[in-house]
Amino acid sequence: MKIFRNLTAAVAALTLVSCGYHLGGMKTSALQNMNTFCVEMFDNQTLHPNAGMLVTSAVTNTLQSDGTYRMSPRNEADFVLKGCVSKIDRDSWITDTEDSYVSTQIGVRVQVHYQVVDMKSGRVLISAEEEESGNYFNDVGSAESSFEAAVSYAARRIADDITTTLVTQ
């Protein structure tokens, strides 16, 4: 009976190990041998005061949640992700039906340039640009807090795009 139990446990363990399940995505070919990362604070080249912090926070959280790479201090990281928020634009998406000079829905486009650098060689492994948008309604509450929410939403979408690039391409 004891042998049967041990044999069953061994078969179950081998089945679970061989099923291919793992936490996180597949690594992109440029980062195949990388396991740990560090995200430097994104520079902010816009007039929006928190843009670099929003993107840095969103990218860090998304990469950690994905689980493909582990976050580590800069001096222990295999690669570092750094970049800059280069542009934030507002566009009128929908205008007031009674006055075409008044925008009721405003789109916000956020543009980010980033690089992934190998910490051992200093070589740039990936250099890319992402642009995403959010929107807000001008007639609801505070326009400034609505703008902040739209920028934050665009930053999270950029973080998703960057994570997808580092994990699947």
Residue 17: inside a domain: no
Residue 83: inside a domain: yes
Q: How many domains does the chain have?
A: 1
Torsion of the alpha carbons at 100, 101, 107 and 109, rounded to the nearest 10 = 130
Which CATH number belongs to the domain containing residue 58 in this structure?
Answer: 3.30.160.150
What tens-digit pLDDT sequence spans the chain (169 residues)? 666 565 565 555 555 544 444 455 577 778 888 999 999 999 999 998 889 999 999 999 999 999 999 999 999 999 999 999 999 988 776 666 666 656 667 778 999 999 999 999 999 999 999 999 887 676 656 666 788 888 898 999 999 999 999 988 6
Residue 41: inside a domain: yes
pTM: 0.77
pLDDT score recorded for residue 20: 45
Residue 10: inside a domain: no
Residue 95: inside a domain: yes
Residue 7: inside a domain: no
Residue 86: inside a domain: yes
- Structural domain for 122, as ranges: 24-168
